[in-house]
Amino acid sequence: MAGNRKIIPAQKQTKYLKGLWITIGSIIIFFFLLFFSISIGIFGKMPSFEELENPKSNLATEIYSCDGKILGKYFLENRSNVHYQDLSPNVINALIATEDARFENHSGVDMKAMFRVALGMVTGSSKGGGSTITQQLAKNLFPRKKDRTFFETGIIKFKEWVTAIKLERNYSKDEILAMYLNTVDFGSLSFGIQSAAKTYFNKTPSELKAEEAALLIGILKAPSWFNPVRNPERALSRRNTVLGQMEKYDYLTEAALDSLKAIPIDISNFRIQDHTAGLATYFREYLRGTLNEWCANHMKEDGNPYNLYKDGLRIYTTINAKMQEYAEQAVKEYIGKVLQPQFFRHWKGVPDAPFVFEKNQKKEIQNLLVQALRRSDRYYRLKLQNTSEAAILASFNKPVAMKVFSWKGEIDTVLSPMDSIRYYKFFLQSGLMSMDPHTGYVKAYVGGIDYRYFQYDHVRVSKRQVGSTFKPFLYTLAMQEGESPCTKYPNVQPVIELSNGDIWAPKNDSKDRLGEEVTLKWALAASNNWISGQLMKKYSPQDVIRIARKMGVTSDIPAVYSIALGTADLTLCEMTGAMSTFANKGVYVEPIFITRIEDKNGNIVESFVPKQQEAISEETAYLMIMLMKGVVEGGTGSRLRYLYGIDVPVAGKTGTSQNNSDGWFMGITPDLVSGVWTGCEDRAAHFRSTDIGQGAHMALPIWAIYMKKIYADPTLNLSKRDFEPPLKPLDVAFDCDNYQTPAKKKSVDIDDF
């Protein structure tokens, strides 16, 4: 048999070997030239070294409180970058075990895995993908086009290989893992591991447990399909698969795997991160407008303006997260549990509730509701679709399924849009702003009761009649002109003839001490309108307005005598800033909301300091503090002491508009000034009784609840010290019981105020 075997001559063997080596060499040269051509951009632009060093992705702008908490974000993609050291080992282990077990052993492309995939395609027994974590990162950072030919698909795959190799050369393995986890989509508007940890578990990435990390890594395969909220069974199965991979590659013991698989998925802290949820929603929306304007006027190094939603800015605000939370709790506790139920009972069974018009009641109510209809988003959308007015009105009277707000939680119901408008008119609103009078830093900002349903801001936007909280401006003028807290005026009604021949004679609800000589201290504490009218007659509306302007009020104030009683419409922000002047020894400091802005790399782009100006003398400011202490010690604000047990030094002023539609309280302590307004959205909706419609009942309790929460928190270190008197001793009469004449020489004792 051996003699029949065909023997290939040595010459032919050499020829075959030569051909084989030529073929192999040609393939090597082909792939070398292909990769070289790809790397230099012949088949399309490749990422440059600079782009690899600074890969572009849409980064959310983060809003930080002064105590380091993230209040919220502005984003197209809810993405925030984290560093490797900020990641739990559980996240890293779950990722490597599931996506790329040989991650530590390859240089961007795992040829062993590629051959396995190729063999699987030939034999029909594919066992997973061949893309490494680095290749997936390359695809995430430099996405493919959706519409492409077969040839383009192949070239793009080779480009990803080249990019992956470049990434491996430019970054460490740890950096690649962090970059990958920063770029991936976890669903539920969460891009990147930091956003995902916050959304699904309300945690940071460093706090994630093994089962939590496995759930998040499992989601990456198909974020919608394995969403634990919509598809809990699939998510559980996928999570356990990831845990099994972790056990397979020795990141978990078999005992630990069995224990972890038995743990159910806990999504009790799941919350999609958007601008209508979380802390300080009204503040964040106000900030959005301010920051958009800032971005439009500030350029990056490339000459383009900053983009609030893409550039990953870090906004450091003055808001204190704890104080903000206490402020929101105070509004909810008092309005939701006390005042709103009282308002419902007050109007129960009353026709045309909760509106009061002097005449044409039903017609005025209908006009008010139609105006609200025309301000709604639904009306605006229908108008854009060129829908006729008649068709719009018809659609507003057609019942539809909807969710509506209630203090006990959202209600699923069926209402016509017009009925829902009427329903919402019953709800009382409130605003609270709290600031440090010395720095101007705003510490708490509550613009309403629930931003999801009521988006009108009652701190910076809403202007309401301020009532008697305006009187301190008038009394400041009197103190500045040499009067003292003990200066006496007859408690009689002033009658002032106006330039047009009309008569202004202010009314006074109280009948206390009619016709007697009363001190200014008593008059302010009792919020006496007759004494305010006499002071306005003695001075002038223009002089009072000038004082208010120096103290930071910018809104229009009509130069009429009735402003003495608070007929001007001002914002809560203006009033709180102005009252801070008294606590800051006469220096007005403009309320400030941002301390600095940083870019995504932590470089400070801009820092902010408040504007300030000397508005009144230190002595005048101190006299006003003493006068306003009297409001709390024995006047309209005295319930702070006997009802709420506030035992710290407080100067304050209540305010109530003429028809009880607005209730105010401005409270001043040495280190914190806070203002509260309460009322309905429409001025025609209000309490019909001053007993329950006054500022002392509608606004003061919110201030008291807020302050009690703050003083109960030792971590805030809020001082209980008294107001500092001027460096130069005051020569002012102080014992009002023994005060006889309006002497120029005056002396003061703090304790008597």
Q: What is the pLDDT of residues 410-426, one digit of tens each?
A: 999 999 999 999 999 99
Would you place residue 685 in the very low, low, confident or very high pLDDT band (cuts 50, 70, 90)? very high
Q: Is 80 exceeded by the pLDDT of residue 544?
A: yes
Q: Are 393 and 379 in contact (CB under 8 A)?
A: no
Q: What is the CATH number of the domain that holds 642?
A: 3.40.710.10
Considering only CA atoms, give the Rg of the chain: 35
Q: Is the pLDDT of residue 147 over 50?
A: no
232, pLDDT greater than 60: yes
Neighbours of 728 (CB within 10 A): 8
Q: Which ranges of 516-604 would DSSP assign to H, the alpha helix?
A: 520-525, 529-538, 541-550, 572-583
End-to-end CA distance of the chain, in Å?
A: 128
pTM value is 0.80
CA distance 645 to 331: 18
* pLDDT given for residue 744 in this prediction: 38
The 3-state DSSP class for residue 655 equals strand
Residue 730 pLDDT class (50, 70, 90 cuts): confident
Residue-wise pLDDT tens digits, 374-401: 999 899 999 989 999 999 999 999 999 9
589 occurs within a structural domain: yes
Q: What is the pLDDT of residue 129?
A: 54
Together in a domain, 606 and 470: yes
Say whether both 433 and 545 belong to one domain.
yes
- Top pLDDT among 20 and 65 is at 65
pLDDT score for 543: 96
Say yes or no: 695 and 564 in one domain: yes
Pair 441, 608: CB distance under 8 Å: no
Higher pLDDT, 241 or 110: 241
What was the pLDDT predicted at 746? Answer: 36
Q: Is the bond preceding 354 in cis, omega lying within 30 degrees of 0?
A: yes
Half-sphere exposure of 88 (CA within 13 A, CB side): 20
In a domain, 92, yes or no: yes
CA distance 219 to 234: 10
Q: Are residues 23 and 136 in the same domain?
A: no
207 assigned to some structural domain:
yes
Q: Which two tokens stand for residue 27?
A: 């393939």
- Whichever domain contains 94, its CATH number is 1.10.3810.10
Q: What is the pLDDT of residues 508-533, one digit of tens each?
A: 877 888 889 999 999 999 999 999 99
Q: Which residues neighbour 499 within 8 Å (Cβ) at sequence distance 6 or greater?
A: none
* Residue 748: per-residue pLDDT: 32
Give the count of alpha carbons within 13 A of 613, CB side only: 11
pLDDT at 344 over 90: yes
Q: What gap in Å lies between CA 296 and CA 304, rounded to an integer?
A: 9
Report the distance separating Cα 421 and Cα 229, nearest Å: 32
Return the minimum-mean-pLDDT range out of 16-20, 98-102, 278-282.
16-20
What are the percentages of helix, strand and coil residues in the chain, rounded to 5? 45, 15, 40
- 119 and 242 fall within a common domain: yes
66 lies in a domain? no
In the chain, the number of structural domains is: 3
753 has pLDDT over 60: no
Residue 232 lies in a domain: yes
User: What stretch of H or E contains 613?
Assistant: strand 612-614
Q: Are residues 125 and 252 in the same domain?
A: yes
* Claim to verify: residue 27 and residue 168 sit in the same structural domain: no
Tell me the pLDDT band of 132, cut-offs 50, 70 and 90. confident
Averaged pLDDT of the chain: 87
147 and 17 within one domain: no
Contact 76, 59 (CB under 8 A): no
**Which are the contacts of 39, defined by CB distance < 8 A and separation ≥ 6?**
46, 162
Domain identity same for 27 and 170: no
The reply to whether 94 and 24 lie within a common domain is no
- Which of the listed residues 250, 272, 294 is the one where a domain comes to its end? 272
Evaluate whether residue 176 is within a structural domain: yes
Judged against a pLDDT cut of 90, whether residue 185 lies above it is answered with no
| CB proximity list for 426: less than 8 A, separation 6 or greater | 343, 344, 347, 353, 354, 680, 685
Res. 120: pLDDT tops 50: no
Structural domain range at position 94: 79-272
Say if residue 21 is in the same domain as residue 140: no
Does residue 283 fall inside a structural domain? Answer: no
- Domain check: are 33 and 83 in the same one? no
Select from 251, 272, 293 the last residue of a domain: 272
Whether 421 maps to a domain, the answer reads no
Last residue of a domain, one of 248, 272, 296: 272
